[in-house]
Structure 1
Amino acid sequence: MTIKASKAVVYAAARQDLKSFVRFSFQLVHPEAEFADNFHIDALCYQLDRVRSGDTRRLAINLPPRTLKSFIVSIAWPAFMLGHNPSKRFFVISHNEQLAAEHSSLFRKLIDNPAIKQVFPTLKPTASKNTELIYTTSKLGGRTGLSSGTGLTGMGADVIIFDDPISAQDAASQKTCDQVAKWMKTSAMTRFNDLATGPVICVMQRLSIWDPHAQLTENGNWTKLVLPARAITKTTVQVGVESYHTWQQGALLHPARLPQHVLDEQKHSLGLHGYQAQFMQAPLPAGGGLIDVTKFKVYSSFPRKHPDLYLVSIDPAGGGTYAKSYSVILVFAVFDGHLYLWARWRKRVEFNDLKSQTIAIISKYRPQDVIIESASSGKPLLEEVHHFLQTRRRIDSECTTLLHPFTPNMSKEARWDEASLLVSEGRLHIPNSNRYAWVREFTEECRAFPEGSNDDQVDALSQALLGYRRIYDRAGESRVHLLSRRG
């Protein structure tokens, strides 16, 4: 009696709770292996529950290899969903038919287990014979395994899952990445039975700066669950409706499955670029990685309430056509010679909008110093800000803001080499990425420099660090004359 009652409790839990079903399913498919629980599994199940409830329709998941991401997303979750609604139709798309067949085989091993019938009595296969890649329920729902590039004419799905839609070898080619991403967007994602409500999940380890994840999520409202093998900063990870896991900076993601010696072996085997992509979820472009972002200090609060001063660095869009490239404004709070990046503004705008934003930021922060690149399109902005400060001083005797034109006289790489001294000394601090969504984008651009698709934020950062050094750090030199001051 005790055993039967215990089984009944286990079946009920597996029926009602995805995490319990994942554990239950793993033990059915891998009876000889131990289920190594971890917070990332809770986070993954939480996000999948949000897809099920309709809270999100676009979910991108980046996790290192050997973290059960495919088992959970492509095998256990479709089985769980079909158990609750046997009429649902799933596409699970992998980079080749062999991988699609492997996942389909594990799904069939799970779904055909007699214990699953105890959890979901109404989940039954169709009377017709299923194939290696296709499982159809008696309610005409089911799971279809596919490979990228497959013709989909006449086919439809309620849910589409992309699970490693491109191989590591193919991801090295931007042309191939473009082709796969185009097929995903223009072919696969048009096959929803309901285009207005159909959810799509992309689960993969990062492979390159132009891989399908990058191209799929560059537009649209995507929920992203990105967990590297080691925490880059202190991070709060949501693992339930009102539950969170605090992941300390430097802590391993899953010590039981990815201990330090395994990560060291993978780094040696894959090299820096491969390791950064597949295990740290931060791919570098060829030739990138000049900036070591691990040397950026991360802060959650200022050392004290009031900084010694504010410094603003502005990199106007180049080429004189503001609407076609980004302009960037960075605001730093300075405490005892340490620069805390406090705010960032980045946008493609026309000149008048840039001028208005610049004046608004100066008025808000009342910075001691404003540094503006004086090349081409920065020159008219310098004139406008110069006029604004002159007018303001006539009505506000406490206005002490000084304007500094910055003329680049060396390459971007050389500028960073000189500016990086403050970083190596531990004097650059950036906000925790949990606080501001833009911090991850800022960090990724720095990581990709000098081969990233954009470097406007890096230019503004280099300018700020160089400007601060020239204004304040050179002993015996007057602050007034170091940057051709204009006020």
Structure 2
Amino acid sequence: MMPIDPLDALDAALRSNFRLFVERCFVHLHHGGEFLPNWHHQAIEHALGQVLRGEITRLIINIQPRSLKSLIVSVAYPAFVLGHDPKKKIYVISYGNELADRHSSDFNSVVTSDWYQRVFPNMRIKKALGNEVTTTERGYRRSTTVMGSLTGMGGDLFILDDPQKAVDAQSEVRRDNVNQWFSNTLISRLDSKKTGAIIVVMQRVHMNDLCGFLTEATDDWSVLRLPAIAEEDERIPIGVNKFHHRRAGDVLHPAHESIKELKNLQNIMPPETFDAQYQQRPVPVGGAMIKREWLRYYEPHELPERTHRSKVFLSVDTASKDGAMNDWSVCTAWLFHAPIYYLLGLVRGRFEYPQLREIIIAEAKHYKPRIVLIEDAHTGIALAQELKKTLNRAVKPVPVERDKVGRMYVQQEKFFAGHVRFPRGAPFLPELERELLAFPNGPHDDQVDSISQALNHRLSTYTLDNI
């Protein structure tokens, strides 16, 4: 039996395994730099494999910057596809010439390398000029820009990699131009409307960006959304019958970007920007139900002294189920000095029932509230009953009289009038603002529930003026 040549074995592995092929492309383009493998690479590669096999023909990948998305999708994938089928006609489209040129240069470097020619001996280049590489089988990879001319041209696969700059997406005219260009021009350039594929890979930049436009128009798109920080427990496909189990709070790629680094970004970036570009969850500019310009703040020296006119209270919103580690519980502390509501503090976490009870007791000892308000639902029912026996404070179960949206709707006037004040620079403030401005379209609303419950107290039977 002839011994197996290790080089032949490596070539065979690169030919059949896209994940290994991506890593080899990285090493080639980064001159031996260290490749940090991560599950999100596998998730992207698996989705691209589904396109290659014809299982899906419309794919959106939403992921943060600097995640190797362009290397995988715009460089390695076209090289892999043409290696297996040199007849394929591929377009890679970006928002500008500089980006398109860089992707083309990387692609050209890969397919003209000795190792690639060895891995794919049937893929031979007839012409490599500028942003176009043509094979001897009349296939090609052409690179152009959004709004660039596609007249008379057709293709089997269109890849849109960052089709919109973040700053351009803030212009309604420019957003509409891109969306209409896709609908009126690009879609008609597929040689086969049935088997031709389109891949859009980008960070979200606006609610009505190209991804928002496409998913709103049709359900045909498969969407792989990969937020920088997981907002809920997820099971993400990374292969055939293989999944990555991601827990809420997990960072996308901790070896590349830690939770500390992401939190620092959260604190310095506008909430709308971070939520869109890193969480892939754009919110309306300026806020949805509560507008950013309505938010008011106070410095410590501006806080009124506690007098007979100043009433301190707690507002507690509990998780929907005891021990539900994917649900949040929130306790907000308030000082009401008519007509202003000052938020004093906020505690938020996924607490088991005993821990939540001890936290509320500790908050009550610290703030010495006149009353503790607890939603009369879920675990709040038992918690209110127990705290009545434990605390030397009034504890009031609050009946749920409206849905979440309705409860906040009637409190808009207080925000508009500047009667709600938040402590400037508080560590919990960035996350609180994100949830508040996104409501009711955000993934969580526990902090909003605690706030609306607090602000609603003077409009119901448990007014603080009577205690």
Is 2:251 the partner of 1:208? no
Is 2:378 the partner of 1:335? yes
Equivalence map 1:53-92=2 (5 Å): 53-92=53-92
**Residue 103 (structure 1) aligns with:** 103
**Residue 42 (structure 1) aligns with:** 42
Distance of 2:217 and 2:147 partners within structure 1: 22
Distance of 1:151 and 1:200 partners within structure 2: 17
Equivalence map 1:16-27=2 (5 Å): 16-27=16-27
Distance of 2:379 and 2:28 partners within structure 1: 59
Q: Secondary structure at the match of 1:168?
A: coil
**Residue 155 (structure 1) aligns with:** 153
Q: Secondary structure at the match of 1:283?
A: coil
Report the Cα offset of residue 172 of structure 1: 1.8
Report the Cα offset of residue 90 of structure 1: 0.7
Q: Which moved more, 1:276-285 or 1:192-201?
A: 276-285
CA contact (8 A) 1:371 1:463 kept: no
**Residue 140 (structure 1) aligns with:** 138
- Relative to structure 1, is the Cα distance of residues 80 and 473 closer, same or farther in structure 2, using a 3 angstrom cutoff? farther
**Residue 170 (structure 1) aligns with:** 168
Q: Per-residue CA shift, 1:181-209, capped at 9, x if unaligned? A: 11122111110000122111110111122
CA contact (8 A) 1:134 1:142 kept: yes
- Residue type of the alignment partner of 2:245: T
Distance of 1:50 and 1:412 partners within structure 2: 51
**Residue 363 (structure 2) aligns with:** none
Distance of 1:235 and 1:159 partners within structure 2: 30
Structure 2: give runs of 5+ residues left out of the alignment: 293-315, 325-374, 383-398, 421-433
**Residue 391 (structure 2) aligns with:** none
**Residue 327 (structure 1) aligns with:** none
Q: Secondary structure at the match of 2:181?
A: helix
Distance of 1:297 and 1:40 partners within structure 2: 34
**Residue 346 (structure 1) aligns with:** none
CA contact (8 A) 2:233 2:248 kept: yes
**Residue 177 (structure 2) aligns with:** 179
Q: Secondary structure at the match of 1:74?
A: helix
**Residue 319 (structure 1) aligns with:** none
Report the Cα offset of residue 408 of structure 1: 5.1
Is 2:225 the partner of 1:226? yes
**Residue 343 (structure 2) aligns with:** none
**Residue 120 (structure 2) aligns with:** 120
Report the Cα offset of residue 406 of structure 1: 12
Report the Cα offset of residue 240 of structure 1: 1.2
Instruction: Give the TM-score normalised by the residue count of structure 1.
Output: 0.63
Distance of 2:320 and 2:141 partners within structure 1: 45
Distance of 1:475 and 1:95 partners within structure 2: 56
**Residue 360 (structure 1) aligns with:** none
**Residue 367 (structure 2) aligns with:** none
Distance of 1:139 and 1:82 partners within structure 2: 10
- Relative to structure 1, is the Cα distance of residues 21 and 333 closer, same or farther in structure 2, using a 3 angstrom cutoff? farther
- Relative to structure 1, is the Cα distance of residues 155 and 254 closer, same or farther in structure 2, using a 3 angstrom cutoff? same
Q: Which moved more, 1:151-160 or 1:262-271?
A: 262-271
Q: Which moved more, 1:72-81 or 1:461-470?
A: 461-470
Is 2:101 the partner of 1:93? no
Is 2:448 the partner of 1:448? no
Distance of 2:168 and 2:147 partners within structure 1: 13
- Residue type of the alignment partner of 1:335: H
- Residue type of the alignment partner of 1:190: S
- Relative to structure 1, is the Cα distance of residues 282 and 298 closer, same or farther in structure 2, using a 3 angstrom cutoff? farther
Decide which of 130, 133, 142 is 2:128's aligned counterpart.
130
Q: Per-residue CA shift, 1:296-341, capped at 9, x if unaligned? A: 999897769xxxxxxxxxxxxxxxxxxxxxxxxxxx99423279xx
- Residue type of the alignment partner of 2:101: A
CA contact (8 A) 1:229 1:258 kept: no
Q: Secondary structure at the match of 1:14?
A: helix
Q: Secondary structure at the match of 1:36?
A: coil
**Residue 282 (structure 1) aligns with:** 281
Q: Which moved more, 1:269-278 or 1:24-33?
A: 269-278
Distance of 1:83 and 1:109 partners within structure 2: 14
- Residue type of the alignment partner of 2:19: K
Q: Per-residue CA shift, 1:107-163, capped at 9, x if unaligned? A: 00011111011111101012xx33211111111111110101011110001011110
Distance of 1:299 and 1:243 partners within structure 2: 31
Q: Secondary structure at the match of 1:143?
A: strand
**Residue 335 (structure 2) aligns with:** none
CA contact (8 A) 1:291 1:449 kept: no
Report the Cα offset of residue 16 of structure 1: 0.8
Instruction: Give the TM-score normalised by the residue count of structure 2.
Output: 0.66
- Residue type of the alignment partner of 1:148: V
Q: Secondary structure at the match of 2:128?
A: coil
Distance of 1:297 and 1:370 partners within structure 2: 15
Report the Cα offset of residue 266 of structure 1: 3.8
- Relative to structure 1, is the Cα distance of residues 118 and 445 closer, same or farther in structure 2, using a 3 angstrom cutoff? same
- Relative to structure 1, is the Cα distance of residues 179 and 297 closer, same or farther in structure 2, using a 3 angstrom cutoff? farther
Distance of 2:133 and 2:436 partners within structure 1: 46
Q: Secondary structure at the match of 2:163?
A: coil
Report the Cα offset of residue 233 of structure 1: 1.6
**Residue 247 (structure 2) aligns with:** 248
Equivalence map 1:341-380=2 (5 Å): none
CA contact (8 A) 2:320 2:379 kept: no
Report the Cα offset of residue 248 of structure 1: 1.5
- Relative to structure 1, is the Cα distance of residues 372 and 114 closer, same or farther in structure 2, using a 3 angstrom cutoff? closer
Report the Cα offset of residue 246 of structure 1: 1.3
- Relative to structure 1, is the Cα distance of residues 123 and 409 closer, same or farther in structure 2, using a 3 angstrom cutoff? closer
- Relative to structure 1, is the Cα distance of residues 14 and 337 closer, same or farther in structure 2, using a 3 angstrom cutoff? same
CA contact (8 A) 2:204 2:282 kept: yes
Report the Cα offset of residue 267 of structure 1: 3.9
- Relative to structure 1, is the Cα distance of residues 232 and 134 closer, same or farther in structure 2, using a 3 angstrom cutoff? same
- Residue type of the alignment partner of 2:88: K
- Residue type of the alignment partner of 2:173: K
- Relative to structure 1, is the Cα distance of residues 161 and 300 closer, same or farther in structure 2, using a 3 angstrom cutoff? farther
- Residue type of the alignment partner of 2:78: P
- Relative to structure 1, is the Cα distance of residues 372 and 213 closer, same or farther in structure 2, using a 3 angstrom cutoff? closer
Distance of 1:124 and 1:147 partners within structure 2: 26
